[in-house]
Amino acid sequence: MGLQSLVLLLCAVRGAEPKNASLALARSVPLPQRLAAGRRRLSDQYAQIAKLAASDGAVVDRFGYSVAIDGDTVVVGAYGDDDAGSSSGAAYVFRTTDGGATYGQVAKLTASDAAGDDNFGNSVAIAGGTVVVGARYNDDTGSNSGSVYIF
């Protein structure tokens, strides 16, 4: 018996329409209950716990284009920020002290050599106390050669 026949048979047994065969099969298979040590089971029920916004957000900043999280710290890129010229970019650091119910902005990062069209904040990463921010169009070593800044 082929997979398609098995799906149709399962649908017939469960009373599902063949057009929803893959959905019926997915719902009929129980999820594994055992997880690796230290892992928690994610529910299919999600609720928003916070909304972050830049303290100085403006139109076309592109806040949220890149996001990274490590523990209680979130880094958000805004490559369209215009503080040092059009699309010079910025990255914002937020931290929570109450498990995620509220986040406060603790820093706004910009390049020491920021210039228009650098797109600083196009990519962001965080590990422990180190934040890395990419500026894909920074021109230090040639036209649009790019740079990475470490904080």
Please write the tens of the pLDDT for every residue from 70-107: 999 999 999 999 999 999 999 999 999 998 889 999 99
- Residue 107 CA: distances (Å) to CA of 41, 45, 76: 33, 32, 11
* Residue 65 pLDDT grade (very low, low, confident, very high; cuts 50, 70, 90): very high
- Are 74 and 52 in contact by the 8 Å Cβ rule? The answer is yes
- Judge whether residue 9 has pLDDT over 60: no
The per-residue pLDDT for 82 is 97
For residues 42 and 38, give the distance between their C-alpha atoms in angstroms, rounded to a whole number: 13
- Judge whether residue 29 has pLDDT over 50: no
The per-residue pLDDT for 124 is 98
Tell whether pTM > 0.75. Answer: no
Average pLDDT, the chain: 81
* Residue 7 pLDDT grade (very low, low, confident, very high; cuts 50, 70, 90): very low
